[in-house]
Amino acid sequence: MEIRCELKKTGDFANTLYTIRYFQFEGDGTLKMDNGITFLPNDRYLLENEKFRLYYTAQGDEAHNFIVVVEDNFGNSYELEFDFNNRNVKDDGVITVVPIGNFKPLTR
């Protein structure tokens, strides 16, 4: 599954750095960045661009739940949650991925 992301900043602050990490709560899969980096759970990775893509590959037919956390060096954090079933079989036999997600700031 491709996840297209863009940082929407409320200001342009000098020397702001952004990192990204993820936590897998349910299911088994891998998350990769568009530059080829495969994420390890809870490890931080530097975001070099404001626009980037993530690629999640599910390994199994069970439900999947994970969050992606973007943080800046000023202590601000934002969480994007993904919760989906890997298989959704319609009457016609077509299998589709059903993502459900929301984006919210983490409270301190």
Q: What is the pLDDT of residues 2-32, one digit of tens each?
A: 899 998 877 777 888 999 999 999 989 999 9
Query: What integer pLDDT is reported at residue 88 of this predicted model?
Result: 55
Percent residues over pLDDT 70 in the chain: 79
Dihedral of CA 10/11/12/16: which sign? negative
Res. 56: pLDDT tops 50 = yes
Segment 57-83 shows an average pLDDT of 89
pTM: 0.74
Query: What integer pLDDT is reported at residue 30 of this predicted model?
Result: 93
The closest alpha carbon to 77, from 103, 101, 50, belongs to 103
- Of 2.60.40.2410, 1.20.1050.10, 3.40.50.80, 3.40.50.1240, which CATH number belongs to 2-105? 2.60.40.2410
With cut-offs at 50, 70 and 90, classify the pLDDT of residue 45. very high
Query: What integer pLDDT is reported at residue 43 of this predicted model?
Result: 96
Res. 100: pLDDT tops 70 = no
